[in-house]
Structure 1
Amino acid sequence: MSSTGALGQLMQALRCLPGVGPKSAQRMAFHLLQRNRPGARQLAEALLDALDRIGHCAECRTLTEGTLCPVCANPQRDRSLLCVVETPAEVHAIDQAATGFQGVFFVLHGRLSPLDGIGPDELRLDLLERRFQSGEVKEAILATNTTVEGEATAHYIHAMARRDGIRTSRIAYGMPFGGELEYVDGTTLAHAFKGRREF
């Protein structure tokens, strides 16, 4: 049965979520419409509200409702320690885990991937370079993922930091090569931060 109209549009819209294919989208759509219409309305309203209210932090570029995220707005954070991550999900993972990290973040929103047309300009590495040149940052902790692109990104940022006399370190990973940081448990993240090494 081919679904058209509002039902078909709903199924197609659900496919924008990671890991959701045609069958999963169909199952979700039917569940929401048949069994949980109040939940569907709550989901729609929460999504619209989030789209209207959430933007990017002016300093670290993570997701936030204000001009600055709670981490950047916190005067107790150590601004000389800058952790560079690929996504806002990784800021959340590191800050929620018991890593003991009290520095601040910079979110790349991706990683260098010339084959996909993602270079330094797309990642806004000029903003990161300004942070380095401000004289405030003493150590950059490179917490990009251990994919080929993540490693290339770490090497590129290391070279940038070295030009400005900033110490760089790479967090130690207790995870398989090619894994994604946001899916690591808190204990593993804590050990990774404690075991970081010079880059």
Structure 2
Amino acid sequence: MAPDDPVEHLIGLLAKLPGLGRRSARRAVLRMLMDPHSRMLPLAEALRAAAEAVKPCSICGNLDAADPCRVCSDPHRDQGLICVVEGVADLWALERAQAHHGAYHVLGGVLSPLGGVAPEDLSIPALLSRASTAREIILALPATVEGASTAHYLMDRLRPVGVAVTRLAQGVPMGGALDVLDDGTLAAAFRARR
């Protein structure tokens, strides 16, 4: 196919999205092209509108068309309870699960010396300034080496503020069989028992 083929170009762009490989992108493009007026043109308009309107929240870092975002603007949320997450996807997952009814803070990543992510690359100063008005900071960071080192770093930085700092429990998932879990998960489950 020609390098300026719009179909191949679209397939290539969609294939770069998480969860879509080249075959899935090709099927999606074919489906859209079969009825472009009801499938493709509304999608193109929605993409344009979102690209123009959605920005990071100036308070928490969530992505929304409003600033502050709908979560930060919600008067029913407990603003004294701040859940710190690595990225917006984690915030959205917690919202989908209706697991947290307080405020959030998106770090924008986790510390990773090998990946070149240092404390100054994350939104830590904004978290520290918000911490003075919080009664609890919940660290909901990934159960990885980088997530653990980021949590330890944040606990050290938050200690002088005097706010309570907690972490999510880690361990055996619902429906998980012990014989298939890795050693680290089993050890974390024993440490977090209640």
TM-score between the two structures when normalised by the length of structure 2: 0.79
Cα offsets for 1:30-69 (capped at 9, x unmatched): 2221355521211111111111111111110101111111
Residues 98 and 12 of structure 1: CA distance in aligned 2, closer, same or farther (over 3 Å) = closer
> Size of the alignment, in residue pairs?
174
Partner of 1:105: 104
Residues 97 and 23 of structure 1: CA distance in aligned 2, closer, same or farther (over 3 Å) = closer
Tell me which moved more, 136-145 or 149-158: 149-158
**Which residues of 2 match residues 2-21 of structure 1 at below 5 A?**
4-21=4-21
SS at 2:138 equivalent: strand
1:35 and 1:65 mapped to 2: Cα distance?
A: 29
Task: From 153, 159, 162, give the equivalent of 1:162.
Answer: 159
> What are structure 1's unaligned runs of at least 5 residues?
177-196
**Which residues of 2 match residues 60-139 of structure 1 at below 5 A?**
60-99=60-99, 101-132=100-131, 135-139=132-136
Cα offsets for 1:12-37 (capped at 9, x unmatched): 21122103222222222222213555
Residues 175 and 17 of structure 1: CA distance in aligned 2, closer, same or farther (over 3 Å) = farther
1:175 and 1:24 mapped to 2: Cα distance?
A: 33
1:159 and 1:93 mapped to 2: Cα distance?
A: 27
SS at 1:121 equivalent: helix
1:23 alignment partner AA: R
Partner of 1:40: 40
Partner of 1:194: none
TM-score between the two structures when normalised by the length of structure 1: 0.77
- Using the TM superposition, give the Cα deviation of residue 85 of structure 1 relative to its aligned residue in structure 2, in angstroms: 0.8
Residues 36 and 172 of structure 1: CA distance in aligned 2, closer, same or farther (over 3 Å) = farther
2:14 alignment partner AA: L
2:162 and 2:126 mapped to 1: Cα distance?
A: 17
- Using the TM superposition, give the Cα deviation of residue 4 of structure 1 relative to its aligned residue in structure 2, in angstroms: 4.4
Residues 40 and 138 of structure 1: CA distance in aligned 2, closer, same or farther (over 3 Å) = same
Tell whether 2:56 aligns with 1:53. Answer: no
Tell whether 2:166 aligns with 1:172. Answer: no
2:6 and 2:154 mapped to 1: Cα distance?
A: 46
1:91 and 1:164 mapped to 2: Cα distance?
A: 24
| Larger RCO, structures 1/2 (Cα 8 Å, 6+ apart) | 1
Rg: which structure is higher?
A: 2
1:19 and 1:97 mapped to 2: Cα distance?
A: 21
